[in-house]
Structure 1
Amino acid sequence: MPPSELMPIGVFARRSGLTSSALRFYADSGLLRPAETDPVSGYRYYRPDQVARAVALRRLRAIGMPLTAVGAALDAGPDDASRLIDEHLAKVLGDAAAARREAALLKSSLADVPSRPIAALKGPVLADAVEQVLTATVREPGLPVLGGLRLEVTPEAVTLTATDRYRLSTRTLVPAEPTTATWAGTVDGEELRTSAAEIRRSPLVRLETTPHALRIRRTDRDDLHCGLLSEEFPDHRLMLASLGEATTRATVAKTLFLRALEDHPGEWATLRLTDHGMSVLPPGDDHPGASLPAAVTGQALSISFELTTLYPAVSTALGADVMLDLRGPDQPATIRSADRGDLTTVAMPIKQEDPPHDRHSHHPRPDHGGHRPRRHGGPGG
């Protein structure tokens, strides 16, 4: 190759995102040898077609893949490389889950305080509730409590609640054994999510607390430990208590509703409810939307939601039919099973900025001009 087509190591480093020292290391390791090395000066030169391999190498190392596996992935075909990446990722996640469990156990043991029993629950039921409610969490820097699950125990019930400020999910479980305990705390959502598979395999789990952790005791198995968050959880009870009466109620088949949302072309959708049924409309007039059979009572209404808010609320609802209790286009909506009320999600609609005139109703519709609508103040404070 003519020298003019070769790149010195500094230029190649900038193109690939690797440092010059890293390139020397990878050359010595045999993963990325230079195309030419000046025998007198020792300067290294690379071909333009080596950039793709260098970028892939950098990305594989960024996910912590060891050098031997990196070499195998770089030299493999697409299918084998994908398999190697998946195997590495599974190991990383497994190691992280084990580290989380050990950290929670260590924090619990440091307290040197005996745990306090608070409730017993069926493992599969608790695991389902955890996974359903945790769909309403979010990772937000500076606000770790939005990634947590609020656990409230009374002699009558165990209530799980989570909120990302725009969606709030809560589910109430009946204890498997009588209890006299009263307790409330916020559990680390990631640690609880990681533990859900183990909880599911236990017919009965007993919940106990220490100052820093929730201990989940299982028969003939090791205990699980999930850390407790110290930040104050949003006042969700005040929000729930302040919800007004529904002015529109709709009952629709869950599978049909989910299919309409999955086929929906936009990032948000408008639900139009009349006594003829419910329509799921996209942000524009170039798509007819989907018409769904629904039992609608009360006022006709158009209300809009981001799909990332609406879809999880519908998908986690229990039962074959979903009930929507609506209070107006700018008020929180309640989404739950039509016949099982122990899982409830409150979702905030989006506020439309200067919506165009709707030919068919006086309710706002999504902005056709491409402006992203704003959300109304959320249920989580």
Structure 2
Amino acid sequence: MDENDASLSIGAFARRVGLTPSALRFYDDCAVLRPARVDQATGYRFYGEYQEPRAVLLRRLRSTGLPLSEVTSVLDGSAEDTRTLLREHLHRMRAQANAAQEAVAELLRSLPVPELEAVLGGPELASAIRQVVPSAATREGYPVLGCVLIEFADAEVRLVATDRYRLAMRVLLPRSLRGDPARLLVPAPELARLGSWAARAGDVAVEFNAGEARLRAGAESVSLPIVDGDFPAYREILRGLDVAPHRIIVDRTALRAALADGVRRVLLRADGEELVVEREHECATMPAICQGRPPRIAFDPAVLGPAVEAGVGPDVLLEIAGVAQPVVVRSADQGSFTTLVMPVATEDSEFAGDNGGH
């Protein structure tokens, strides 16, 4: 420290470094940023120009919300210690932001539902309904799973359905969206029926107010039946997916044809640049791009087949994390539609039962 350089009053130094005099007094009291000199007669604090970098860094760190105890460690620690502390702080901030966002969205959903309107392209909405509805449950006993979730949040409209063995999601970008985040549960058969109506319209407005929902196209409108219930936490399911190290890209039509009806199980295995689909006592072979070393994996064709058929374009992409984890089915021509399909146990696997993967 060069006390001869201590020529800046606390006010002048505060202006140079972007801190207030009261903040500088506080940091002095906390021994984070001591003045270069204190006049013993007056008690005035004086600072030197050499202290500017530390003061500016202190201001920047505090602006991120870094606790003062960690600020001192950054100011006085090594570069590696600084990187570690800042990475940990960044992780905390992201976790807190996500938790706050979820909490606010949940509070908004719990309030009396305000007016909401989302304008979508009619054919686009009809396409999303066609893709998602087949993944809703058809068996009695699970009324919520027999519905399609229509979710309005984050400037998007999401249609989601699941029967526990597969999950389908289509993300739509509305032409306009006003209102607070909301969720509607619509019985899948009713939504499928309304899909044909939406396909004939140019723009369709989804309106929700006072607990009632409607679809409107011009002067024509139809009621959108909704039910009460808690839909599965599908966002947590998607966030919990492991990174898939194996990928198979194959002709969508050829794969769908190989998933024969009436067969309880088909086995998929990669063989060089080919995909082999084993069906009981016969096999179907087709060209494929296989990335990684995809494991032998089995499916119920009644579950995988509709997921493949619902895609768009000539190719289908299978992202495989493991033989007992959901397989992501995507289309290269439409990234807004995603399906998760649970595999079943292979006959020679360690998983017991025909539905060991479910």
The TM-score normalised by the length of structure 1 is 0.61
The answer to whether 1:305 aligns with 2:299 is yes
Q: TM-score, normalised by structure 2?
A: 0.64
What residue is the counterpart of 2:344 in the other structure? Answer: 350
Alignment of 1:232-311 (within 5 A): 232-262=230-260, 266-283=263-280, 286-287=281-282, 289-311=283-305
1:212-223 correspondence runs (5 A): 212-221=211-220, 223=221
Q: Letter of the aligned partner of 1:131 in structure 2?
A: R
The separation in 2 between residues aligned to 1:214 and 1:236, in whole angstroms, is 23
The 3-state SS of whatever aligns with 1:246 is coil
Match of 1:230 in 2: 228
Percent identity (aligned):
30
Which residues in structure 2 correspond to 1:122-271 (within 5 Å)? Answer: 122-179=121-178, 181-221=180-220, 223-262=221-260, 266-271=263-268
* Offset, 1:212: 4.0
Unaligned runs of 5+ in 1: 1-112, 357-363
Pair 1:215–1:375, CA change in 2 (3 A): farther
Q: Offset of 1:228 from its aligned partner?
A: 1.5
Report how many residues are paired: 247
Over 3 Å counting, the alpha-carbon distance change for 1:127 and 1:265 in structure 2 is closer
Map residues 37-116 of structure 1 onto 2, 5 A cutoff: 116=115
Within 1, Cα distance between the matches of 2:247 and 2:199? 35
Q: Is residue 373 from structure 1 mapped to residue 354 from structure 2 by the alignment?
A: yes
- 2:329 aligns to what SS in structure 1? strand
Aligned-partner SS, 2:334: coil
Counterpart contact for 2:113–2:211, Cα < 8 Å? no
* CA RMSD across the alignment: 2.3
Equivalent residue of 2:204, what SS? strand
* Structure 1 residue 155 displacement after superposition: 4.9
Partner SS for 1:273:
strand
The CA deviation at 1:224 is 1.2
2:323 aligned partner, one-letter code: P
Residues 119 and 181, structure 1, Cα contact 8 Å, conserved in 2: no
Residue aligned with 2:308, SS: helix
Unaligned runs of 5+ in 2: 1-111
Distance in 2 (alpha carbons) for counterparts of 1:271 and 1:331: 15
Classify the secondary structure of the residue corresponding to 1:281. Answer: strand
State the secondary structure of the residue aligned to 2:296. Answer: strand
Corresponding residue number in structure 2 for 1:118: 117
Structure ID, larger Rg: 2
Partner Cα distance (1:272, 1:218) in 2: 48
What amino acid maps onto 1:311 in structure 2? G
Q: Does 1:332 align with 2:331?
A: no
CA deviation string 1:332-374 (max 9, x = no partner): 100010242111000000124xx34xxxxxxx4999xxxx711
TM-aligned CA distance change 1:297 to 1:308, over 3 Å: same
